[in-house]
A and B are shown apart, each in its own frame.
Chain A
Amino acid sequence: MSTAEKDIFPQVDRRDLLKGTAALTVAFWLPAGKALANGGTGAVFEPNAFIRIGADGIVTVVSKHIEMGQGAYTGLATIVAEELDADWTKVRVEGAPADAKRYNNLNFGPMQGTGGSSSISNSFDQLRNAGAAARAMLVAAAAQKWSVPASEVSVVNGVVAHAKSNRSAGFGELAADAAKLPVPADAKPKDPSKYTLIGKNAARVDSRDKSTGKALFTQDVQLPGMLTAAVVHPPRFGARVKSFDATKAKAVKGVKSVVAFETPVRSGIAVLATDFWTAKKARDLVTVEWDESAAYRGSTTELYKEYRELAKKPGASAKKEGDPDAAFASAAEVLEATYEFPYLAHASMEPLNCVVRIGKQDCEVWNGEQFQTVDQLAVAKTVGLPPASVNIHMLYAGGSFGRRANPQADYVVEAAAIAKAAGVDVPVKMVWTREEDTRAGYYRPLYVHTLKAGLDKAGKIVAWQHRIVGQSIVAGTPFGGPGPIDATSVEGASNLPYAIPNLAVELHTTKNGVPVQWWRSVGSTHTAFSTECFLDDIARHTKQDPYALRKSLLTDKHPRHNAVLDLVAQKSGWSQARPKDEVWGLALHESFNSVVAQVVQLKRTSNGLKLAKVICAVDCGLAVNPNIVAMQMEGGIGYGLAAALTGAVTLKDGVVEQSNFDDYPVLRMNQMPAIDVHILPSTAKPTGVGEPGTPPIAPALANALALANGKPVRVLPLSAEGITLA
């Protein structure tokens, strides 16, 4: 950094910032796990893989999960701090290195990764036990030091004390002694009635840094000698570089090299330069001849046609109850509806990127890392090193919504392949533009659903058939099961909570060249819509109230659904008279073991219908941090709304037609409704919150629109049918 550059930093923050930058540079070269510690230097007490306590009393919680916005760092640290009785202001969080043994996701098996809204739920007991053991050791150390019975030692807000003898000590003073003690196997976690942090809205650990520009994302990594790589991706999925001309690009000042790369999923060109703008400018000058013999040349309009035809035929059975054929045959009336869902891009705020340095014996990765051990293995293969030699440094991710957990590690492997092709030993930061991020595939798949309901003379549902047509997001990946049914394609449909005696859920799994992947709330992104909208179709047809119909179909086998539905009805005033200018819609859905119901309130204005408010009720078990649960409901609703209103990736002759926020519009401030979140009190184990807020919003909105417009919504996004809101 030149003197001039140093001088631009403002007086107040300068020292901090410079210290931060210097520390950053140094920290990045330390072994994984020690890097980027934002506190807790000189740990003297490390009772387990999740806790370090320094002589300064700073408690560092090691998070095996990524912080990509959902508040995992805060929630995980809250659990540890609660059991430790730590002072919340002295708790810091740090991302764990890749390690499938110590840091595996207990829901996933022997792999480390974040997904399925599982960060809190799979870690809850693990961290309670870790915290309780560490606390017991601090207590034992104090008892020994003061020669008093451990049972007389208390811990409150980071202070260990013996009241009778009026002695007290901070964690830091006891850390060295505690470290010498054996780790107890039987330390009991607290009784929940004693909680002082859990359930109490601890302040997020990352708010300040994220409000002052100090939080570090992959995009912000700066390392000595680092080069930035801009890429040219193929115009169609499956196309490969045949030849390229980089003469003009190489002539640009600052360009170091131009290389072709090839990964198991993508072939392209990378321009490496001293900085992004130079790399990008040069990249625009590269001409490539593509081999498109294996390229996908389909169009989404054709896919819809093909899928609609498939939906007319029986698919593989995902679920069968009773005798649906006989029930349909004897039904007094049969209702049918077809629903269509487009490809969706994740469009996280931070376009995909990754930093890789390949050394002779080792390799380092700096990344907003959602799939640690999958990525570690894939990079190891790419660069030809054992997985243990690939060190991953965890950074914040500017959103992901599933995208950074790619079973093929597509973008991470691409960065590694570029660094390898360039043959450099300095760090290489691969940066995709927004356009590349939008066009690189791994979308929520396009689906067509048909639903059929048989009603008896009284209008009661006696038969239900749900057919789903679309690609599998796990087929061909290590996550794919053996049978013909990809459970993630039918989740939300095959576990329909409503008591219908004869039911069939069928699946047609299609194949094509468009890469697909999970997207916030996975199968429920489409199954919640078709099931909850179709149910409202039936309600309108049989002149029943949507709430009453759902209640009549929920037995006491589903107490959580019943309670959440009642809560949203009560809080929204569902059974009271509504303002004349308002139309309301309701939806209920379970995902990731949490149940969420939402009421959408549309208001008629002179500019058309306005989405005024959403009332949301959720049962997510014990809410470790109710404020963060509310944030996730708000965020989940906003994310689902964006997709419902305008989200669609379309292809024509194999080319993705969208590229940036102008043709892939997302939700903006002026479109965001007011949101009231109500959390069902619960003492059950925590369940998911990052995703379950998303599924109900689109059907709740569509159900309101169907009433307002007298026409059901069968196609998403709404913009495709010309529906807009004020």
Chain B
Amino acid sequence: MITLDINGKQVQTDAEPDTPLLWVLRDHLGMTGSKYGCGKALCGACTVHVNGAATRSCVLPVSAASGMKITTIEAVGDSAIGKAVQDAWVAENVPQCGYCQSGQVMSATALLTTNQKPSDADIDAAMSGNICRCATYVRIRTAIKRAAESLA
């Protein structure tokens, strides 16, 4: 049994230690908000926060996640920044197919947590690991700025 700290709760899982956190979240704990897109830290669809940092859960063995504070898309809206990001996403009608957007929201929230007023270059740097095949990038950029403004 591995004990995890997910969204402020202690949970136990009997998943094999090498199972990536993503699949523990999705298949063992029924939290399907974090998505599988590549399995190789190439697309960002699986992004969660580990001790506050945007982390690709598809390559993080669950054993290594034990003892860390994990936040997922299911709870990120509980924080003021996460909520502001999600509200901005809705206001700008960011999602198209939506499959990448959990990861986008997590990366954007992590960015705004450390950088209250990101420049375009900051946004490029923080968000270029998150692929959106629907190419919603224009609106992601606007929404991040809107969220930053709403938090200022």
Contacts and interface: CB of A to CB of B under 8 A. Distances in A.
A207 B89 contact: yes
Contacts of B140: 669
Interface in A664-714: 666-670, 672, 674-675
A183 B43 CA distance: 51
A217 interface: yes
B64 interface: no
Contacts of B90: 203, 207-208, 211
B99 A398 contact: yes
A278 B127 CA distance: 31
5 contacts: A5-B28, A207-B93, A253-B16, A635-B96, A672-B135
B11 to A, nearest CB: 5
A661 interface: yes
Given A213-B33, A275-B23, A10 B128 contact: no
A216 B26 CA distance: 12
B113 interface: no
Interface of A: 1, 4-5, 7-13, 17, 21, 68-71, 203-204, 206-217, 219-220, 222, 228, 253, 274-278, 347-351, 396-401, 431, 433-434, 627-628, 631, 634-635, 637-639, 641-642, 660-662, 666-670, 672, 674-675
A208 to B, nearest CB: 5
Given A204-B95, A275-B23, 17 more contacts: A13-B74, A207-B95, A210-B95, A210-B98, A213-B74, A219-B35, A349-B35, A350-B99, A397-B97, A631-B136, A634-B135, A639-B134, A642-B133, A669-B124, A670-B125, A670-B128, A672-B135
Contact of B78 (A10, A68, A222): A10
A349 B74 contact: no
Contacts of A207: 89-90, 93-95
- A-B pairs, top 4 by smallest CB distance, nearest first, are A638-B135, A213-B33, A398-B99, A210-B98
Contact of A215 (B31, B98, B134): B98
Contacts of A220: 26, 32
Contacts of B74: 9-10, 13, 17, 213
B43 to A, nearest CB: 6
Contacts of A71: 96
A10 B127 CA distance: 26
Contacts of A433: 39
A350 B45 CA distance: 9
Contacts of B80: none
Contacts of B65: none
Interface of B: 6-12, 15-16, 19-20, 23, 26-40, 42-43, 45, 72-75, 77-78, 86, 89-90, 93-102, 105, 123-125, 127-141
Given A206-B98, A277-B27, A212 B33 contact: yes
B96 A672 contact: no
Contacts of A434: 37-40, 43
B99 to A, nearest CB: 3
Nearest to B92: A207
Nearest to B45: A349
A521 B89 CA distance: 28
A660 B7 contact: no
Nearest to A636: B135
Contacts of B99: 217, 348-350, 396, 398-399
A5 B11 contact: yes
Contacts of B34: 213
A4 B134 contact: no
Contacts, number: 217
Nearest to B35: A219
B135 A8 contact: no
A672 B77 contact: no
Contacts of A11: 78
B94 A211 contact: yes
A216 B99 CA distance: 9
Given A399-B97, A661-B42, A672-B138, A21 B128 contact: no
A635 B12 contact: no
B100 to A, nearest CB: 5
A132 to B, nearest CB: 28
Given A210-B95, A213-B74, A351 B37 contact: yes
Contact of B133 (A10, A219, A277, A347): A347
Residue from A21, A68, A253, A672 with most neighbouring chain B CB atoms (10 Å): A672
Contact of B96 (A69, A208, A662): A69
Contact of A277 (B19, B38, B102, B137): B19
Nearest to A675: B138
B11 A669 contact: no
Contact of A211 (B26, B28, B35, B86): B86
A208 B93 CA distance: 9
A669 B137 CA distance: 6
A660 to B, nearest CB: 6
Contact of A8 (B7, B35, B101, B124): B7
Contact of A10 (B8, B19, B45): B8
B93 A349 contact: no
A662 B45 CA distance: 15
B137 A638 contact: yes
A251 to B, nearest CB: 13
A674 B123 CA distance: 14
A350 B95 contact: no
A504 to B, nearest CB: 36
Contacts of B11: 4-5, 7-8
B123 A669 contact: yes
Contacts of A431: 36
Contacts of B9: 7-9
Nearest to A396: B98
Given A10-B75, A277-B27, A434-B38, A349 B131 contact: yes
A276 B35 CA distance: 13
A631 B94 CA distance: 9
Contact of B138 (A1, A222, A634): A634
A638 B137 CA distance: 9
Given A8-B9, A13-B77, A434-B37, A276 B98 contact: no
Contact of B42 (A21, A213, A277, A660): A660
A377 B138 CA distance: 40
Contacts of A208: 86, 90
Contact of A212 (B86, B94, B100): B86
B37 A212 contact: no
A349 B136 contact: no
A634 B38 CA distance: 24
Given A275-B23, A276-B23, A675-B138, A212 B73 contact: yes
